[in-house]
C-alpha cells in the first residue's frame, strides 16, 4: 500500500508537470517563480512606484505551463491581479480557483512559462532555499535547511501539511518557492511565525509539494477541493496514554462510515495512516488531506488494548456517491443546501464610500448594509441583474455599524427574508453558518465556505455581535449570515484569522425603529462624517511610523467615530508609533463595544503588554481563555499574563488547557512558568 501511494503521488506530479525541465540549481529556479502584484481596495498596487513593503505584494510558483500557484491570503481581497515574471514584464493574471482551507490559489497567465520540477524526497536538515518577492523588492533567494516535516499544528490554516524551514521568509514571500539544491520544489511558502512583527525570525512554513499537488489537481478538475472523510472524531490522547504511545484517540465513529466499515472502535488510537505516522488529530487530518480524492482505500495501523492492528480504510462508496452527486447537482457554483443557495437572491453588490460592499434585502424597497460601506455618503449604487440602481441612505438614530438603503426597482422575484422568523442564536446552537456576499474576484454574489458558532452576542456589550468561523472576505460586509436552513441570522461585518463577526437581526430592528427618531439626521451625519475623518487619518498615519502625520489626532477623532473596525486599526497604528496608552484606550473601547470579540481582546492584550501594564492583562486573558479554550494563542496569553501579572492560578489554568490543546507547546509553557524571564520593560 505504501508503494501504491508513492506511485500515485509520482503519477500526479507527472501529470501536473508535463514537459519537466532538467535538474538545475536554486538560481535557475528563479525563472519558474513570479512576483504577484494584487490591487487591494484602498491600496496602491505593488510595483507601481510605492515604497517597498508598503503595497500588498506576494509571490507565485509555476506548477503547470501558464498556471501559477500562490497563497490565497495574498490575493483574497484583490480587485485585479498582475504578475511580474523573471524578465521584468508585468502581465495580467486571472484567478482560476482557490482553497481557503489550505491557503492555496491558482492563477493563469497567457504566457507559456515552463513549470518547476518537483523534488521527490525531503529530509530533516536538507539544504533548501526560499525564492520570493520579499518586501516587494523583487525576486530574491535566501537559504537554510528543512527544520521539520509534516507540521500540522502551526495554526495558520484549517488543513496544514507544512515543511518548516529557517530559510528567511518575509512579507511578500508568501506564495514563493521552497526549493532543494537542484532547484526542485519542496513546498510553497505560506506563513511566517513571528512574535511581535511580521518579519522573519527563522521559523517559516511552506505548504508541502505533496499537498500543493493534491489541491492543484482537485482545483483544476472540479474548481474546489473535496477531502476524504473517514467518519471519525479524534481527540488528543490523555496524559496516561501518552506515556505509552503518542497517537490520537477515536472518540466517535459515524454509522456507515469508512471508519465503521473498517472495524475502528471508540478508544482505538490511530498510529499511522498510509505511510505517515500521526501524533495528533491535526496530524491525522493532514495525512488524510494529502490522499487524492480518487483514493479507494488506504492502510492504517491502530492500537487497541495494547495490541497493534492493521486495517483498510475504504472510500469507494463515498467516491461513487460524490460522483453521482456531481452528475445531479443543480447548481455547481453553490454546493450547499438549496435553501442557503437561494438566499443569494437577497444580497446585492453595492458601491459607495467603500467601492465594493454588499447589502441584504429586508423589504420590497429596503436594503441594510454596514455604515462603513457608505461612510458619510447620502447615496449608494446597488448592482442588480437589470443594471445599477441609485439607493438613498435613510437616516436613523441607530449608532452601530448598520445603514439603511431605500431603492426602487429591485427584482420582483428576489427572496426577502422574514426578520421575525429568524431564530435567536444561543450558546447551545450547533450547525453550519454561511456568509453570503459579493466576491470581488468572481464579480458575483456567492455563498462562502461554512463555519460554526464561536460565541453568541454578549449581553454586556454596547453592540452585540455573532462570532463565527464562516468565511468572509472584503466585499462581503453588509451581506447576510444564514443558518443551514437558509434563515437570515445576521448582517456580515468582517473579521480575520478564521474568526468573523455578524450583527444580529435585533439590531436591524433597532435600525428600522429609530428611523423616526428626532435625532436621526444628526446621528447619521455625525457618525458618517466621523467615520470618514477617521479613515482619512488612518490612511495618513504612515502605518504608525513615529512622527508620521495624523497619529496625534487618531484617538480623539476615531474614538468619536466609534466604529469597531476603525478602533482596532487605530489602536494598532498607535501601538506601532509607541503611543501605548492611547492604543490601550482604543482597543479597550473596541472590547467594551463587543466583549466576545476574540480579535479585539487579543489586540487589547498586545497593547497592554507593550505598555507594560501586566496586572491589567489578567482579567482580559481569563475572559479570552473562556472565549477560546482550545486556541493555543489565547492560552499563551493567559500563561504570559498570569506570570507577569502575578496571577499564578491563571497561568496554571492556561497551562492545563494548553496541555490538552497542544502538548508540544505546553512543554515550552511549563518552562516559562517555572523559570520565567523578567517582564519586558515598557517599550
Q: So which residues are the catalytic ones?
A: 73, 103, 174
Please enumerate in sequence order all residues whose Cβ is within 8 A of that of 20, keeping only pairs 6 or more positions apart, or say none: 14, 115, 117
Determine phi and psi for 538, rounding to 5 degrees. -60, -40
Cell digits for 560? 468619536
Compute CA 601 distance to the chain's CA centroid, rounded to the nearest angstrom.
18
Contact 165, 130 (CB under 8 A): yes
Alpha-carbon distance 561 to 192, whole Å? 34
CA atoms within 13 A on the CB side of 112: 2
Contact 622, 650 (CB under 8 A): yes
Alpha-carbon distance 649 to 642, whole Å? 7
Alpha-carbon distance 493 to 342, whole Å? 21
CA atoms within 13 A on the CB side of 406: 8
Alpha-carbon distance 411 to 421, whole Å? 22
**SS3 assignment for 665-681:** HHHHHHHHHHCCCCCCC
Alpha-carbon distance 396 to 412, whole Å? 26
Cell digits for 666? 505546553
Alpha-carbon distance 382 to 345, whole Å? 13
| DSSP H or E run through 295 | none
**Could you give the angle at the alpha carbon of 306 between the alpha carbons of 300 and 310, nearest 5°?**
20
Buried/exposed 622-653: b ≥16 CB within 10 Å, e otherwise: bbbbebbeebbebbbbbbbbbbbbebeebbeb
Residue with cell 532555499: 129
CA atoms within 13 A on the CB side of 188: 34
Enumerate the β-bridge partners of residue 34: 60
Amino acid at each position: 500500500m505504501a508503494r501504491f501511494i508513492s506511485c500515485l503521488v509520482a503519477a500526479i506530479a507527472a501529470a501536473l508537470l508535463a514537459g519537466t525541465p532538467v535538474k538545475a540549481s536554486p538560481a535557475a529556479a528563479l525563472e519558474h517563480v513570479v512576483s504577484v502584484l494584487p490591487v487591494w481596495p484602498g491600496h496602491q498596487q505593488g510595483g507601481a512606484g510605492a515604497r517597498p513593503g508598503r503595497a500588498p505584494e506576494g509571490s507565485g510558483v509555476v506548477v503547470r505551463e501558464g498556471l501559477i500557484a500562490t497563497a490565497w491570503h495574498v490575493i483574497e481581497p484583490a480587485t485585479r491581479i498582475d504578475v511580474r515574471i523573471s524578465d521584468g514584464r508585468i502581465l495580467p493574471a486571472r484567478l482560476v480557483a482557490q482553497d481557503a482551507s489550505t491557503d492555496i490559489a491558482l492563477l493563469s497567465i497567457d504566457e507559456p512559462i515552463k513549470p518547476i520540477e518537483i523534488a521527490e524526497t525531503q529530509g530533516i536538515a536538507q539544504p533548501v532555499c526560499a525564492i520570493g518577492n520579499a518586501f516587494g523588492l523583487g525576486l530574491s533567494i535566501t537559504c537554510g535547511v528543512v527544520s521539520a516535516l509534516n507540521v500540522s499544528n502551526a495554526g495558520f490554516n484549517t488543513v496544514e501539511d507544512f515543511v518548516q524551514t529557517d530559510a528567511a521568509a518575509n512579507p511578500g514571500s508568501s506564495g514563493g518557492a521552497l526549493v532543494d539544491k537542484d532547484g526542485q520544489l519542496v513546498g510553497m511558502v505560506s506563513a511566517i511565525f513571528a512574535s511581535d512583527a511580521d518579519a522573519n525570525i527563522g521559523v517559516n512554513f511552506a505548504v508541502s509539494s505533496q499537498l500543493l499537488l493534491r489541491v492543484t489537481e482537485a482545483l483544476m478538475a472540479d474548481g474546489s477541493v473535496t477531502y476524504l472523510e473517514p467518519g471519525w472524531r479524534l481527540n488528543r490522547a490523555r496524559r496516561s496514554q501518552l506515556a505509552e504511545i503518542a497517537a490520537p484517540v477515536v472518540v466517535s465513529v459515524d454509522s456507515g462510515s469508512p471508519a465503521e466499515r473498517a472495524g475502528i472502535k471508540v478508544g482505538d488510537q490511530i498510529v499511522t495512516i498510509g505511510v505517515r505516522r500521526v501524533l495528533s488529530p491535526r496530524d491525522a487530518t493532514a495525512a488524510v488531506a494529502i490522499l487524492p480524492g480518487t483514493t479507494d482505500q488506504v492502510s492504517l495501523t491502530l492500537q487497541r488494548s495494547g495490541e497493534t492492528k492493521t486495517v483498510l480504510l475504504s472510500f469507494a462508496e463515498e467516491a461513487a456517491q460524490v460522483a453521482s452527486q456531481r452528475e445531479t447537482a443543480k447548481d455547481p457554483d453553490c454546493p450547499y443546501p438549496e435553501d442557503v443557495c437561494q438566499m443569494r437572491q437577497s444580497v446585492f453588490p453595492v458601491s459607495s464610500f467603500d467601492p465594493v460592499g454588499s447589502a441584504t434585502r429586508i423589504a420590497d424597497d429596503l436594503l441594510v448594509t454596514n455604515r462603513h460601506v457608505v461612510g458619510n455618503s447620502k447615496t449608494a449604487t446597488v448592482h442588480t441583474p437589470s443594471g445599477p440602481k441609485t439607493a438613498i441612505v435613510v437616516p436613523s438614530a441607530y449608532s452601530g455599524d448598520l445603514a439603511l438603503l431605500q431603492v426602487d426597482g429591485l427584482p420582483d422575484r428576489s427572496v426577502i427574508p422574514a426578520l421575525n422568523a429568524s431564530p435567536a442564536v444561543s450558546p447551545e446552537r450547533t450547525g453550519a453558518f454561511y456568509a453570503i456576499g459579493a466576491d470581488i474576484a468572481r464579480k458575483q454574489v456567492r455563498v462562502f465556505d461554512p463555519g460554526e458558532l464561536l460565541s453568541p452576542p454578549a449581553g454586556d456589550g454596547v453592540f452585540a455581535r455573532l462570532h463565527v468561523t464562516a468565511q468572509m472576505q472584503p466585499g462581503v460586509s453588509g451581506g447576510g449570515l444564514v443558518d443551514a436552513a437558509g434563515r437570515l441570522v445576521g448582517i456580515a461585518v468582517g473579521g480575520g484569522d478564521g474568526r468573523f463577526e455578524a450583527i444580529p437581526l435585533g439590531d436591524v430592528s433597532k435600525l428600522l425603529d429609530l428611523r423616526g427618531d428626532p435625532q436621526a439626521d444628526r446621528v447619521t451625519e455625525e457618525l458618517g462624517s466621523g467615520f470618514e475623518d477617521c479613515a482619512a487619518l488612518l490612511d495618513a498615519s504612515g502605518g504608525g511610523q513615529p512622527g508620521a502625520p495624523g497619529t496625534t489626532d487618531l484617538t480623539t477623532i476615531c474614538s468619536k467615530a466609534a466604529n469597531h473596525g476603525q478602533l482596532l486599526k487605530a489602536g494598532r497604528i498607535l501601538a506601532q508609533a509607541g503611543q501605548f496608552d492611547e492604543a490601550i484606550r482604543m482597543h479597550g473601547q473596541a472590547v467594551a463595544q463587543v466583549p466576545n470579540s476574540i480579535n479585539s481582546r487579543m489586540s487589547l492584550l498586545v497593547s497592554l503588554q507593550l505598555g507594560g501594564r501586566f496586572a491589567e492583562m489578567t482579567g482580559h486573558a481569563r475572559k479570552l481563555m473562556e472565549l477560546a479554550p482550545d486556541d493555543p494563542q489565547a492560552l499563551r496569553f493567559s500563561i504570559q499574563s498570569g506570570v507577569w501579572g502575578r496571577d499564578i492560578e491563571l497561568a496554571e489554568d492556561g497551562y492545563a488547557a494548553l496541555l490538552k490543546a497542544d502538548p508540544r507547546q505546553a512543554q515550552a509553557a511549563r518552562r516559562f512558568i517555572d523559570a520565567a524571564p523578567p517582564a519586558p520593560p515598557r517599550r
